[in-house]
Structure 1
Amino acid sequence: MPVYDYECTECGGFETVRRIAERDEPALCPQCGEAAARVVIGAPSLGGGSPDTREQTGSYGMRHRGGCSCC
C-alpha cells in the first residue's frame, strides 16, 4: 500500500500507509488523535511538452501531460 503525507494542525506532519481509495479522507494523528488533512504536492513537469499539450486525466484522478515521465 502507498504511503501518504498528512498535516495535523496541532502536532505537525506525519506519514501513514493507506489504501488508495482512502487517500483523500482525513487520517487520525498518531500523537493526538485529531483528524488531519492530506498534504498534496504537485510533481515537477519533466520532458518539456509544448504549451498547447492537452492534460489528460488518468486512473485515480491523476493528471498527465503528453510526454510525462510516468506514462
Structure 2
Amino acid sequence: MPVYDYECAECGAFETVRRIAERDEPVACPQCGATAARVVIGAPSLGGGSPDAREETGGYGMRHFGGCSCC
C-alpha cells in the first residue's frame, strides 16, 4: 500500500500507509488523535507541452497534460 503525507495542526507532519481509495479522507494524528488532512503537493512541469495543451484525466484521478513525460 502507498504511503501518504498528512499534517496535524497541533503536532505537524506525519506519514501513514493507506489504501488508494482512502487517500483523501482525513486521518487521526498518531500523537494526539486530532483529525489531520492529507498534504497535496503539485508536481513540477517538465515542459514539452504547449501552454494551451488539453488536460486529460487518467487512472486514480491523476491529471495529465498533452505532452507530459510521465507516461
TM-score by length of 2: 0.92
Q: How many residues align?
A: 71
Aligned-pair Cα RMSD in Å:
1.0
Which residue of 2 is the match for residue 13 of structure 1? 13
Q: Give the fraction of aligned pairs with identical amino acids, expressed as a percent.
A: 86
The list of structure 1 runs, each at least 4 consecutive aligned residues, that deviate by more than 6 angstroms after superposition, is none
CA displacement 1:8-53 (0-9 Å, x = unmatched): 0110000111000000000111100111000000000113311121
Give unmatched runs, 5+ long, in structure 2: none
How much has 1:67 moved relative to structure 2? 2.0
Name the counterpart of 1:57: 57
Other-structure match for 2:37: 37
AA at the equivalent of 2:28: L
In structure 1, the gaps of 5 or more residues are none
CA distance in 2, matches of 1:59, 1:20: 11
Q: TM-score, normalised by structure 1?
A: 0.92
